[in-house]
Amino acid sequence: MNVEKTAAIVGVGLIGSAWSVAFARAGWRVQMYDERAAACEAYGAWADATWDAMVAHKLVTAADARAARQRVTLCSTLPDALDGACYVQESAAETVEVKTSLFSQLDGLIGKDTIIGSSSSGIPGSAFTEECKHRGRMLICHPVNPPHLIPLVELVPTPWTDPEVVEKARGIMTAIGQTPILVRKEIGGFVLNRLQGALLNEAWALYEDGVASLDDIDATVRDGLGLRWEFMGPFETIDLNAPGGISDYASRFRRMYSEMNNGRKKGPWPDDVIKRADEDRAALLSRSQLKPRSEWRDGYLMDLVAFRKGMKRD
Amino acid sequence: MNVEKTAAIVGVGLIGSAWSVAFARAGWRVQMYDERAAACEAYGAWADATWDAMVAHKLVTAADARAARQRVTLCSTLPDALDGACYVQESAAETVEVKTSLFSQLDGLIGKDTIIGSSSSGIPGSAFTEECKHRGRMLICHPVNPPHLIPLVELVPTPWTDPEVVEKARGIMTAIGQTPILVRKEIGGFVLNRLQGALLNEAWALYEDGVASLDDIDATVRDGLGLRWEFMGPFETIDLNAPGGISDYASRFRRMYSEMNNGRKKGPWPDDVIKRADEDRAALLSRSQLKPRSEWRDGYLMDLVAFRKGMKRD
């Protein structure tokens, strides 16, 4: 068995299942485990549908999809899943209790070089790995849902994660086609959710203050800002938006952005505003259409990923 | 002459030139004026190159491009440009003085139903239209650069803009293929720059605090968040991200986002941080490459727009 290309995925929910596709597509053997039998039973139909959709959207050939699908095994015990794996992607429920207990088990079972990345989206690794013997080989590898389509992964080491392990995890993520970034401090929300949160909090504040309708705020992103951000981050965007680059841009506009920032208090989203937003969304999209619209989103995302594959990005 | 489809564009800079393409492509006659002879002289080569690029990126056929190009006339006087125009897109320099003087001139020249939209990206319309006789027909129509590729337009009425005029401006923008949104209050930065600013301020704060490198913050957007925002705004994104929709999502996550928001003070971008960012960007992209990279960006954007044209978005 090729230990260097065997991943164990612990937790066969939405995220763990999507991880299996990302690893298998890159030629890795994937060994999955979930103590919940129902999750394992649901996996087969989900995987078949997902690979079929990827073939239909020209993200993979039918032959490659078939071969990849066959590299995934559902295991009936945790030790079976870990057997021969150089990397474990933990994707269990997002509570400190579940993760603490699971990491303690994993700690007693993993091979001597095995690295464990957690899909935790908010709980820092130090909250559930401190007591582990092998805590130097544990870190957060936070994906964006679904990781087989959206490449970004946040690597968030704990204070005791071995720097070499961080580099190995980065190498694994790069090898399977993800885009790993390094979050140097265990800050709440890491980087992705902090950026998303900043925009969301402003969106809620604009909506609460009646500056624009909910759908007009959404349009500003999907028909405006999103056309840049699909292929350039905020710093490159401003670097190219003034003749002298980023410092030129900053000297022209930082006062404007600073004034915007200080203009209004942004508290938590109030109950009555959430209620109003819920009614507005229901008027735009009947609640019975949430699922079909999510399917449309998934299809659109696959087409967008196929488009990106054909583009030279640097 | 078809008055209903004749636009005057006053100011033949980057924005005014791009507006000419948006109107002409939609079948409008376009009459341009700029008191600066050099701007008018530069227009021809710019327009030829822009239409050629759009043809090359399959955004328009060569025949349609040729016909559209011929619908644009450079006028030698302001009255000539306004003659027969039902709509004026003011795209002059962004200072209160320039706009006040220009709107005063336009006020004395426009036909009885003509509407004037200003491309102002930050100065509210009330700062330069108050004294005009026809101020009820003046408002901000703020585009995103370049408007012939990025559809969003912010309509920002002043307190004295006639509501019917807002609706007419919305109709004109929709007719030429833009996505108009209504900004109900003359708030600094309108909606687009407030949303952009919220994300930018957080990005600068994360960079200043050493949470992630400049390029990793950019990657978080271009390989993560941007893949959603290219086709869905923040509210639709969260509406589809919890089984019960937006209120379900809000009840699960608002505390997390509120805590992120309150966690750190975000002041203006400090000089030393800007200097560091400038060095980081220079290491990523030699300053001599700013122009070629901008050309790459423009080409990518055209391909992205061509992709979007083929997609069903709702």
Six-digit token string for B251:
């009840």
- Is B14 an interface residue toward A (CB < 8 Å)? no
The predicted structure's pLDDT at residue B263: 54
Is the pLDDT at B314 greater than 90? The verdict is no
**Of residues A221, A267, A311, nearest to B234 (C-beta):** A221
Q: What is the pLDDT of residues B257-309, one digit of tens each?
A: 888 876 556 667 889 999 999 999 999 999 999 999 999 999 999 999 999 99
Cite the DSSP H helix spans in B32-162. 37-56, 62-70, 78-82, 96-109, 126-129
pLDDT at B266: 64
Spatial separation of the C-alpha atoms in residues A223 and A221, rounded to whole Å: 6
- Please tell me the distance from the alpha carbon of residue A117 to that of residue A140, in angstroms, as a whole number: 5
pLDDT of residue B195: 96
Chain B nearest-CA distance from A111, in A, is 31
The single-letter DSSP state of residue B170 is: H
Bigger pLDDT: A93 vs B313: A93
Q: If you ran DSSP here, which 8-state letter would residue B222 be given? A: I
Nearest to B189 among A200, A218, A256 (CB): A256
Q: Give the list of residues 6+ apart from residue A161 with CB closer than 8 angstroms, or none.
A: A125, A135, A136, A137, A138, A139
Q: Measured between CA atoms, how close is A109 to chain B, in angstroms?
A: 33
Q: Strand, coil or helix: what is B243?
A: coil
A-contacting residues of B 33-52, CB under 8 Å?
Answer: none
Edge-first strand order for the sheet with B6-10 is: B72-74, B29-33, B6-10, B87-90, B115-118, B138-143, B152-157, B179-182
- Tokens 């600013």 — which residue? B197
Closest by Cβ to B234, choosing from A203, A211, A268: A203
Q: How far is B283 from chain A (nearest CA, A)?
A: 12
Give contacts of A200 with chain B, Cβ < 8 Å.
234, 238, 257
What does the pLDDT average to over B132-160?
97
A187 CB neighbours in chain B (<8 A) are 209, 211, 263
* Total CB pairs under 8 A between chain A and B: 357
Looking at residue A286, what is its pLDDT? 93
Cα separation, A156 vs A118, whole angstroms? 9
- How far lies B81's CA from each of A123, B33, B84, in Å? 61, 6, 8
Q: Would you call A151 and B224 a contact, using CB atoms and an 8 Å cutoff?
A: yes
CATH number 3.40.50.150 given to A194-309 = no
B171-224: pLDDT as tens digits: 999 999 999 999 999 999 999 999 999 999 999 999 999 999 999 999 999 999
Using the Cβ of B258 and the Cβ atoms of chain A, whether some distance falls under 8 Å is answered with yes
Q: What pLDDT is recorded for position B11?
A: 97
CB B250 within 8 A of CB A199: no
Residue B144 with chain A: CB contacts under 8 Å: 224-225, 227
How far A114 CA sits from the closest chain B CA (Å)? 26
In order of A285, A307, B19, B261, the CA distances from B300 in angstroms are 32, 11, 20, 33
* A194 Cβ under 8 Å from any chain B Cβ: yes
Query: Where along chain B do the CATH 1.10.1040.10 domains lie?
Result: 194-309
- Beta pairing partners, B116: B88, B138
pLDDT in the model for residue A261: 73
Quick check: B246 pLDDT over 90? yes
Domain limits, CATH 3.40.50.720, in chain A: 3-182
Q: CA-CA distance, A103 to A160, in Å (whole number)?
A: 15
B212/A191 touch (CB, cutoff 8 Å), yes or no: yes
Q: Which residues between 78 and 137 in chain B have a beta carbon less than 8 angstroms from any beta carbon of chain A?
A: 122
Q: Which residue has the tokens 């239409």?
A: B51
pLDDT in tens, chain A (314 residues): 445 799 999 999 999 999 999 999 999 999 999 999 999 999 999 999 999 999 999 999 999 999 999 999 999 999 999 999 999 999 999 999 999 999 999 999 998 999 999 999 989 999 999 999 999 999 999 999 999 999 999 999 999 999 999 999 999 999 999 999 999 999 999 999 999 999 999 999 999 999 999 999 999 999 999 999 999 999 999 999 888 899 999 988 888 888 887 655 666 788 999 999 999 999 999 999 999 999 999 999 999 999 999 997 66
3-class SS at A109? helix
Give A257→chain B minimum CA distance, Å: 6
d(CA B23, nearest CA chain A) in Å:
18
Tell me if B182 and A212 make a contact (CB, 8 A cut-off): yes
Q: Determine the distance in angstroms separating the CA of A176 from the nearest CA of chain B, rounded to an integer.
A: 15
Q: Let me know: does B162 contact B169? Beta carbons within 8 Å.
A: no
Identify the pLDDT of residue B1: 44
Judged by CB atoms closer than 8 Å, whether chains meet at B201 and A261 is answered as: yes
Q: Tell me what the pLDDT averaged over chain B comes to.
A: 94
Q: Where are the beta strands (DSSP E) in A60-134?
A: 72-74, 87-90, 115-118
CB contact under 8 A, B227 and A150: yes
SS (H, E, C) B75-101: CCCHHHHHCCCCEEEECCCCCHHHHHH
Report ipTM for this prediction: 0.95
**Among B209, B256, B266, beta carbon nearest to A261:** B266
**Using a CB-CB distance cutoff of 8 angstroms, which residues of chain A are in contact with residue B290?**
239-240, 243, 245
CATH topology of domain B3-182: Rossmann fold (3.40.50)
User: Which of A302-311, B46-55, B249-258 has the weakest average pLDDT?
Assistant: B249-258
